[in-house]
């Protein structure tokens, strides 16, 4: 009984702490036997002028991503998310994407022959967690092609393995949830940013109409919902990314019953 009580106290402390810290608690992966099987594939292209230089010293395009057995819809989804990173006009496949990037470097060198800056493209997809009904993924990476600084991006995907479809917020929250969820999230955001309830968001943030809002880049975890704002999304580049973690204990009444999230709600 003492051990069970101690575990309960520790769990409550973790959830309470998550409300007041911008970084979500670290989740130990809990991968069960009833999961999707996959292998990681790697695509790599190096510029011809790399010679014997290490990858860090020359122009390289690297893409690493999971390929799931007998899951064509999921695999297509992962591929498309990687292809659209940093690219409004995506290529037909990942190999073409890597080759085109190196081609852009070659074209750049023809006009900037004395430039010593190597280009870099590092894209990835990785499994964050999975169980019998839910698969969570992270796709992202960084790119540099002679600009002022590298650009980074991270996109989360929550996949219903039974329905074989991506999970949206509307799939796990009750009707009319958005205003209440936004209010809760706004309160947590202001605590994380050391802002008063009445502080204006006009000067330091990029929210539309200077009013806090949630995006659709979220990750379902065993303890709560993690939202992520990428660089330039709500803050200047120097401020980096912004994590917003909302524990289930604060939004329990807004969650639908019998969804992939229900397994985490006690």
Predicted confidence at residue 113, as pLDDT, reads 77
Residue closest to 143 by CA, chosen among 67, 59, 66, 79:
59
Give the CATH number, domain containing residue 160: 3.30.565.40
- 111 within a domain of the structure (yes/no): yes
Predicted confidence at residue 58, as pLDDT, reads 94
Predicted confidence at residue 146, as pLDDT, reads 85
- 3 within a domain of the structure (yes/no): no
Residue closest to 252 by CA, chosen among 261, 244, 240:
261
Domain that holds residue 92: 38-166
Average pLDDT for 96-118: 91
Predicted confidence at residue 242, as pLDDT, reads 98
Residue 160 and residue 49 share a domain? yes
Query: How many other C-beta atoms lie within 10 A of the C-beta of residue 108?
Result: 16
- 194 within a domain of the structure (yes/no): yes
Residue 177 and residue 138 share a domain? no
Q: Is the pLDDT of residue 87 over 50?
A: yes
* Last residue within a domain, chosen from 166, 191, 210: 166
- 1 within a domain of the structure (yes/no): no
What residues does 129 pair with on adjacent strands? 136
Range with the poorest average pLDDT among 21-25, 41-45, 85-89:
21-25
Residue 183 and residue 107 share a domain? no
What distance in Å separates the CA atoms of residue 153 and residue 48, rounded to the nearest whole number?
27
Residues 6+ positions from 213 with CB-CB distance below 8 Å: 182, 207
- 213 within a domain of the structure (yes/no): yes
Residue 152 and residue 211 share a domain? no
What residues does 64 pair with on adjacent strands? 42, 124
Location of structure tokens 């695509």: 43
Helices (H), the chain: 2-18, 72-83, 94-111, 169-172, 178-192, 248-251
Predicted confidence at residue 132, as pLDDT, reads 78
In tens, the pLDDT along 56-67 reads: 899 999 999 999
Q: Is the pLDDT of residue 16 over 50?
A: no
Range with the poorest average pLDDT among 17-26, 57-66, 156-165, 239-248:
17-26
CB 100 within 8 A of CB 91: yes
CB 201 within 8 A of CB 190: no
Residues 6+ positions from 241 with CB-CB distance below 8 Å: 152, 154, 228, 229, 230, 231
Q: What is the pTM of this model?
A: 0.85
What distance in Å separates the CA atoms of residue 123 and residue 121, rounded to the nearest whole number?
6
Please give the mean pLDDT across all residues of the chain: 89
Looking at residue 263, the DSSP 8-state letter turns out to be G
Predicted confidence at residue 116, as pLDDT, reads 79
Residue 246 and residue 150 share a domain? no
């Amino acid at each position: 009984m003492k051990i069970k009580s101690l575990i309960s106290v520790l769990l409550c402390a973790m959830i309470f702490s998550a409300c007041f810290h911008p970084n979500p608690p670290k989740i130990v992966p809990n991968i069960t036997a009833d999961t999707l099987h996959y292998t990681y594939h790697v695509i790599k292209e190096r510029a011809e002028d790399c010679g014997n230089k290490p990858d860090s010293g020359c122009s390289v395009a690297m893409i690493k991503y999971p390929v799931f057995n007998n899951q064509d819809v999921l695999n297509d989804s992962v591929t498309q998310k990687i292809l659209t990173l940093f690219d409004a006009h995506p290529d037909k496949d990942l190999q073409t994407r890597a080759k085109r990037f190196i081609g852009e470097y070659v074209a750049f060198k023809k006009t900037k022959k004395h430039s010593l800056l190597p280009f870099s493209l590092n894209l990835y997809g990785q499994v964050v967690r999975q169980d019998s009904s839910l698969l969570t993924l992270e796709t992202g990476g960084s790119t540099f092609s002679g600009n002022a600084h590298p650009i980074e991006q991270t996109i989360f995907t929550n996949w219903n393995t039974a329905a074989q479809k991506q999970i949206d917020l509307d799939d796990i929250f009750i009707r009319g949830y958005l205003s209440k969820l936004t209010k809760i999230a706004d309160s947590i955001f202001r605590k994380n940013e050391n802002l008063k309830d009445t502080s204006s968001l006009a000067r330091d943030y990029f929210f539309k109409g200077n009013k806090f809002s949630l995006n659709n880049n979220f990750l379902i975890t065993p303890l709560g919902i993690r939202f992520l704002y990428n660089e330039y999304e709500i803050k200047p580049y120097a401020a980096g990314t912004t994590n917003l973690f909302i524990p289930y204990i604060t939004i329990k009444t807004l969650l639908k019953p019998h969804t992939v999230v229900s397994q985490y709600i006690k």
